[in-house]
Every structure is written in C-alpha cells, then in structure tokens.
Chain A
Amino acid sequence: MAGLAQVFGFGAMTNHQNDIRNSRSVMIIGMNPAENHPISMQHILTAKEVNRAVIISVDPRFTKTSAFANIYCRLRSGTDIPFIYGLINIILANGWEDKKMVNERTYDFEALKAEVAKFDAATVADITGVSKEQLFQVAKAMADNRPGTVIWAMGGTQHSNGTAVVRTYCHLQLVLGNMGRPGGGCDVFRGHDSIQGVTDIGGGPETLPGYYGIAETAWKHWSKVWDVPYEWMLSRFKSKEMMEKPGFTVARWYEGVLLDPKELGQDTNIKAVFFMGHSTNSMSQMDRVKRALEKVELIVDFDPFVTNTAVLPDRTDGIYVMPAATNYEQWCSSTNTNRDLQWRQRVVDPVFEARTDLAILIDLAERLGFKKQFIKNMKGSWKGVPASMKEVKALPEQTIDDVLREVNMGTLSIGYIGQTPERLKRQQQWAHVFDIKTKKAVGGPVDGEQWGLPWPCWHDKHPGTSILYRTDIPVAQGGSGFRALWGPKAPDGQTMLAAEGSAPAGGPNAGYPAQKEYATDLTRGAIKEAMAEGRHPYGNGRARFNSWNIPDPVPTHREPIHSPRPDLIAKWPTYDDVKEHYRVPQPYKSMQKPEWAKQYPIVLTTGRIVELEGGSAAERADWWLVELNPEMYVEIHPKLANDHGIKNGDWVWIESPEDMDGKPSRIKVKAKVTKRVGPDTVFLPYHWGGVFEGKSLASKYPEGTAPYSVGESANTVTNYGYDRVTQMQETKTGLCRIKKA
C-alpha cells in the first residue's frame, strides 16, 4: 500500500477484480489467488478463455494458481526487484515502452533507466534463478498483450524491502503504459475482509482516518469533524510530541513490552494489549510475542473464538477473553480490495453473550469516561445509543448509519463522500442491474453508478471511480490523473504536473495542482469548485519513478536479511541499522549474517492455504474444514526430503536462526513431500496455533473452546526482518534447516 502511494499518490488497488476480464495479459507475482482469492479466479480464467490472455505466474512455489498459468517462473524468494528490472531492461532495449505515458505522466524516467541498466538478463538469472530465455518470453508476452494487469499480494510486500518491491511492480506498469486503462492497472489483492476499509479509516499507527497523517493540521481537521476542541484532544496525550509521533505497529508491538524503555521511542513500556479480531499466530517472532504476553499486565482478546493469544503465554491471570459478534450479527459497511463499499445486513441478533464491535467500543469509551465525545460529531449526536452501555449487546441500524455519515463528513481526502448509507442500501436492492465486466449499473434508480461507489466518490451523484488514473473519461464520470501529492515541482526543479494533452477529459487539458484545501474544507466548497470546472480535486500530477522522500528513492535490489547467498549479500546488502522506527530500534545490517547460509541452508517461506484463513481460530473450529486439512505440515521437495531421509508423513523439526536476543527457535511438523516447492525452499502454512516448540497447549483452552485442530505456528520459526518503510514483517523469506524428528 505504501509502495503504491509513493508512486501514484494513493495506496489502493487501481483497477478492480472484474476488470481483469478486460486484460490480455495477467502477471500474478507473489500471490496465489486460487487459494487466497478463489472468486477472483473467475475473472482471471475468463480473461484466459475469452481474451486468450497470457497468464504468467511468478512464485517460489508452483501454486494452485500456477497450474493455470501459460508461463510459470520459479523465482527465488525475495528477488522480485531484479526480476522486474530484468523485464524493464528487455522492454527498453526493444523499444516496447509506452513513450506517451512515460513522457507525459511520470517523473524521472532517467533515474529508473540508470538503475535497470545494472540488471542484464545474466545478472537477473544469477540472482533470481529465472533463465534468460524465460525472462525474454515474459517481457515479450507482456509487451505483445496489452492491456495487461500485474496482481500481487503478501508475496510482494512481506520483505525487508517490500515497499521497494511494490514500487517496481508499479514502474513496470507505467513503462508498459498499462496504467489508467481498463484491463491494466496495479491490482494488489488485500487479504482480509474490509482490510482496505481498515487502512482507509486509519488503522495504522501513523495516520488518522483518510490518510491525513497525525500532524497538528490533521488533528485539527478531525477534531472539527468530531466536534471536540483540539485542546481537549491534546489533553488526552502526554505531550504534543507524543500525539504526533507514530505509534507501534502490529508487527513489533511486543518490543514495546520487552525492550528497556531507554531503547524505545517513549519513556514507558506497554502495559496492556487489546486484540480486536487479530491473531497472534500471524505475527512473526512468536517466541518474543509469547514472552511479551507473559510480561504485559493486561491482555484482552476480543474475538468470536478463543484464539492462540489466550493459550500462548504461560500465565494464569490477566487474560480476558471476550466474545465478539460475527459479521452476520451486525450491520456494517465494508470496503473491499478494489475500494468498493457494500452494505451488510444483519442476519441474526448476536448469539449468547456476544457483543457487536461498536457496542463494545462505546462501552469502553463510557468506562474510560469519554463516551460523550465519542458518539457525537459536528452534525450532532448519534441516535439510538442508550445512556448506559453496560449489558447492551447490539445497537440499532441507524447507529451504523451515523458512523458511515461521519466517515462521509470527514474523509474528504480520498473522496469517501458519496457513499452514503442510503446509496449503499439502494445498491444492495438493485445489485442485479450492474454489469459484471464494467461494474456499471444499466437502468433503474442506480443508472450509471459504479458498483460499490469506489472511492474517490466526490458527491452524492458521483458514480465512483472504479479505475483510478483514467484520463479518457471526465472527472464527473470517474476520470482522474495521477495525484498531484508532491507539489508542483520536484526538489530537482522538474515539474510534477502532467504534460499538456494528458488530463481527464472535459477539463483543462494539462497538469494542475490539487485544489487548495479540498481535503479540509468541510463545506466541500473546494471540491464543488474543482468539479464544476472539470478538474479533479486532487490535481493532475505525475507518477514517480524516483520517490525522493523515502529510503531507496529509486528501488534497488537488496538481499533478504536472511539470504542463502553470501556472495550476493556482499554485492547487494540490506539497509543500515535504524535507531528508531515506529518507536522501536530496527537493526538491518547487524542482523544480516552471511555465515547463516551455511548453518541454515534452506529458504523458508510461508503463506496461506484455501481451507483456512489468517490465525484460523474460526476455521480450525469447523469440523468440515478440519476434515479437509487436518494438521500442520511443511512442504518439502522430494530431493531435499530424500537427502535428509525424510518420507512423506514423517515428523520433522524445522529450526531457524536466532532472533534479536540470540535465541533460535524450532517447530515439529509433518512432512508433505511435493514438487510444489523447489529443492532449495520449504513452505509452511501459517494458520495453525496451539502448539509451541513441540508442546501442545490444547489443555489451556477454556473448557469446550479448543479448536478441532491445533498445530505448530509457522511464525515460531519465521525469521527477524521488517520492511524499511511500513515495518511489514519479512515472513516470505527466511532461512532454516530441517531434521528428522
């Protein structure tokens, strides 16, 4: 997400899943939609069948998706940048680049050219393992079959240079001219229900809702929306400095518990942790997570099922397990991967003691003494919230309407304006009139609307923007240029505004800066003014090959922190150590030890399988799903298995190098011998929990709540490593060794 935002201006999927039906080539890199996004395969396979689209699968594993690919490239995990640069190199050498796109709508192509020149096909083959011939085949297939889309997921981002990897995917699409047109785009698939919505609403520690950041202007804007004095908001924090300092991330919060406060970006340790629909078995460094859970004073686990969190720590007190309502037990709006909003109907009242998310949050605010401020905004108080929230399990539907209206009111930056509860509910009634390929309604009261009113949706007549950065249609119909986020000029003096002739139809036919104060003018006057002139409120700028404000402005290859190639570490080392990143120290170079490749020679990668999802507290408690995939396993290539004397179904130990405090970890799992992985790599699904380093924790579940299947968590052995920008964990590339148990 951060990678996309640094190139185009918005951290979101640019096209939509249905739009893949318009693609003539589909590159699936670092993702496995057949297991993780099964429905999207409908669109991918339709493109293959109807458009004869070339499907290219690039992955260290021959996945269930690879089975449907015309071209499969087995890439060493963590070498995406050399692969993509190898492609761009071939595209440029043959003059296949889209010159109009590059010249008129991008910034600093020269810098990219200089960088990709280092990656000739032989170098790429050495680093990635993809042959020269195959690289050429892929480049030619992408160039010959436009428009094409590039789809990725966690395989691209869960690396110490994940943000840089994502930027190169974007660069490939810019060079091919695949941006801002149907069938093209950078289609990152998000991995959880409404996770795009969570990002939009400010789930991260560095921003308030709508990507406003956490500087004073952002706090002032939102204080105005929430109708609370800025001074009151400020008084809730220890200081203005702490108010404007990014907090801990989900990837490394436990360091805030474990490390000496002198090493932290704040002067105390974390004392309490509140989990809301998040599992601990999806976090790397499980051993440290466990110790943090043992040290922290209070743990609240708010989930429909009892999760790994409740049983992992060796403690007898201070863990509160609270039942949450599922999505069938509450109304809500949710935002999917392609920015579409959808209204969800409640099916049943919350069962047993379960409470809805909103009920529990308002109750928490009440007990902490700021309920009054919590449930109001500049247009008044939310209706339907009782005076006391104690014992209240669910709130009426209009309360959920009020929440969405507040979002509509304040989130002007990304155009969360036109997705009103009324419009979403109307779309729900008229779902059948939307076209499957374009997502556009034909006739009826929703005529012309895009399904889900994807943001930006600028007013309550705007159809939404299904495809971002599209200049062939007017702004009023969902057209836009790249976001002019970085001002009119780059630091080197070059223009950051699009060239003449590249602008959304119907407005000024050139680049222009963002409308002044469009994101903070709560009267929406600035937005109206821009729309009236056919200009896009966020301007018409250039996409960046050179993101000067972040590490590695032009992405370059860096070996994973745990790389099996000491020779390449010497040439392409990781980053310098960082003293403070999201309030914790983040070493890079001092954690990259070339000698590990000898002691731990096997690449360890992790991922998901179709039967389970995330931490899988719910799925492993489902009889039918457990029957299909009953126990934790490791995928091992027949050669590697035979070299270690391991047969299919044998128990094996997976051992990984030490973490930050010098402790190695290990797990005991069953071997699944398969050619899905190459002989140098093993794969672990990360869904299991309830067993730690060979010891079952099943007896620790409260009576009757243990799932049908418990197993070792892959994240006990995933290695140390975090993205330089977002702090995403490097769980796609690590090192390990295996032993027969």
Chain B
Amino acid sequence: MALTTARMKFYIDAKRCIECGGCEVACKNENNVPQGIARIRVVTVNEGQPGETNIAVPCMHCSKAPCVAVCPVDALYTRPDGIVHVNKETCIGCGYCLYACPFGAPQFPKGEPFGARGVMDKCTYCAGGPDEPFSEKERRFYGSNRIAEGKLPMCASVCSTKALVAGDAEEVAKVVRARAVARGSGVGAWGWETAYPTGPRL
C-alpha cells in the first residue's frame, strides 16, 4: 500500500458497461437527487446495432479540472484527495462550468423553459460537501458522505459488471492494468476485426 496521500479516481470500462442503470438509480437513492438531475448517466452509442457501446459518465474529478479553472467565484475546488466539489452557498449559477466541462457533469435545476439556472449540482464522489461531515446541512445540500465512512461511492459499489471502478488512483490503475493484460492485443479477446479493421479473416 502506498504511503502517499490517496488521489481518488473513477475508471469506467466501456468494454464492461451493460447499461443496467444500477449506478444511476443507486446514486439518486443514496444522495436523494431530484428528478431531472443526473449526477451520473449511462450513455449508449450505436444502440441496437453492432458496435453498441455503453459508458457511465459521472464527474470525472479531473486533475486539472476545467470547471475549477473557469469558476468566477471559486465555488468549485479540488480537495487534497483529488475530489472536485462545489460549494453551493458560493455558487452564483453562472453556468461557466457547464460549458467548460467535457463530460456534462454540472447539473442545473430544470423546470421552466427560460428559467434561471440556479445553483449547480454535481457528483460529489459520495463525499458530501464543504460542511461538517454527517451534518444535516451536508446531507440536505450534497447528499451522503460515504468517503468519510470509509466506503466507496455508491455507483461503484453496486456496478453489476465492475465496469465502474473507484478508489485510490494507484489501486484503480492496478485493475486497469490487469484487464488490459488479460484482454491482450491483436486478435485476442476483441476479435480480428478490431485488430485488422481492413481485411476479413481468411
């Protein structure tokens, strides 16, 4: 086990995600997320056709998070363990983060066609918010704080195929490495067509 500070990461394996929606439902239930807000959502491309691929997309808690860089009031910040949080009492709802984020993680209340944006909500890595851990205020503003309880985020805990892996970056990297080694390259697990897209197998 590494003795340095852990940096928390998500890894989402598009070769494993089956779009069961377990992460979406578990997240909402755990954090009491209202309808219309998706702190994580499964995106499917080529639905119903060869090449159909699914990937769950939460906040990726970027190392150099563009949302943190553009936030004009410093409501967004990166914790020492790498988790990116928003302080809902500072947020002015300008929506810059929405445009900066490549993953569509920042969520704004919906309801009216031309309504104000309101305060931003996003995946907290199930780590609560800037308030006192386990306080009523934290729970109401941000949801649960499983990290403070020593648990993994709810989405990763329930993932049926272990497509969504969370934890210390070093541990996550080991999982990624093991899978890459097992799958190999070339005509291995993913087929001739992947390795040699230009020609059929003779």
Binding site for B on A (CB under 8 A): 34-35, 38-39, 41-42, 45, 48-50, 52, 62, 64-68, 70, 72, 610-611, 623-625, 627-628, 674-677
Contacts and interface: CB of A to CB of B under 8 A. Distances in A.
A39 B160 contact: yes
B24 interface: yes
Interface stretch (B45-53, B56-64, B77-85, B124-132): B45-53
Contact of A68 (B18, B48, B183): B18
B50 A72 contact: yes
Contacts of A623: 35
B52 A610 contact: no
Nearest to A69: B50
Interface in B150-202: 160-162, 179, 182-184, 188-189, 191
A620 to B, nearest CB: 14
Contact of B18 (A38, A72, A628, A676): A38
B162 A35 contact: no
A62 B44 CA distance: 14
Contact of A67 (B21, B22, B53, B162): B53
B27 to A, nearest CB: 9
B139 interface: no
B29 A624 contact: yes
Contact of B47 (A34, A48, A625, A676): A676
A627 B49 CA distance: 25
Interface residues of B, number: 30
- Chain B binding surface, main DSSP class: loop
Contacts of B16: 45
Contact of A41 (B25, B28, B161): B161
A48 B22 contact: no
B35 A45 contact: no
Contact of B160 (A38, A49, A66, A675): A38
Interface in B99-140: none
Contact of B49 (A45, A62, A65, A624): A62
B35 A38 contact: no
B20 interface: yes
Contact of A38 (B22, B51, B52): B22
Of A38, A66, A611, A625, most buried by chain B (CB within 10 Å of CB) is A38
Contact of B191 (A70, A628, A674): A70
Contacts of A676: 47-48
Contact of A35 (B20, B28, B47): B20
A42 B21 contact: no
Contacts of A45: 15-16, 161
A628 B41 CA distance: 10
B83 to A, nearest CB: 24
A611 B21 contact: yes
22 contacts: A35-B18, A38-B160, A38-B161, A41-B18, A41-B160, A45-B15, A49-B179, A49-B182, A49-B183, A52-B184, A52-B189, A62-B50, A62-B52, A64-B18, A66-B52, A72-B50, A623-B35, A625-B25, A628-B24, A674-B47, A674-B48, A675-B48
B25 A628 contact: yes
Contacts of B161: 38-39, 41-42, 45
Contacts of B29: 624
A624 B182 CA distance: 36
Contacts of B24: 624, 628
B169 to A, nearest CB: 22
Given A610-B19, A628-B25, A42 B162 contact: yes
Nearest to B24: A628
